[in-house]
């Protein structure tokens, strides 16, 4: 289920993004990028629709994924005969 970022409390959103940034451990190239900058980048991606917040009822978890990842997950569920749930 998609969770619109605007519906989250700002502190909750920030904590979710920080958790995601620390968990991902993404390589940003030669220059080190601080957490504050990474959080700002993810917020911008959420605002632009490039990234989405997804809640899994099955796993009772929330995650941030790219729009492409979300579309791939939806296609996989569709081809396996699962229902999709949109917020």
Task: Spell out the residues 6+ positions from residue 67 whose beta carbon is closer than 8 angstroms to its own.
Answer: 49, 50, 51, 52
- Please calculate the CA angle 9-13-18 and round it to the nearest 5 degrees: 150
Q: What is the pTM of this model?
A: 0.76
Domains contained in the chain, CATH given: 5-79 (1.10.10.610)
In the structure, what pLDDT confidence band is assigned to residue 15 with cuts at 50, 70 and 90?
Answer: very high
- Calculated CA dihedral for residues 12, 16, 19, 20, nearest 10 degrees: -170
pLDDT (tens digit, 9 = 90+) per residue, 27-86?
Answer: 556 667 888 999 999 999 999 999 999 998 888 999 999 999 998 888 876 555 555 555
Q: Specify whether the CB–CB gap between 16 and 8 falls below 8 A.
A: yes
């Amino acid at each position: 289920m998609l969770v619109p970022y605007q519906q989250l409390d700002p502190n909750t959103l920030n904590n979710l993004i920080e958790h995601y940034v620390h968990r991902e451990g993404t390589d940003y190239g030669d220059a080190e990028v601080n957490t504050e900058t990474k959080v700002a980048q993810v917020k911008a991606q959420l605002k632009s629709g490039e990234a989405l917040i997804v809640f899994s009822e099955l796993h009772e978890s929330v995650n941030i994924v790219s729009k492409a990842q979300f579309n791939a997950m939806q296609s996989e569920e569709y081809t396996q005969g699962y229902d999709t749930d949109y917020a």
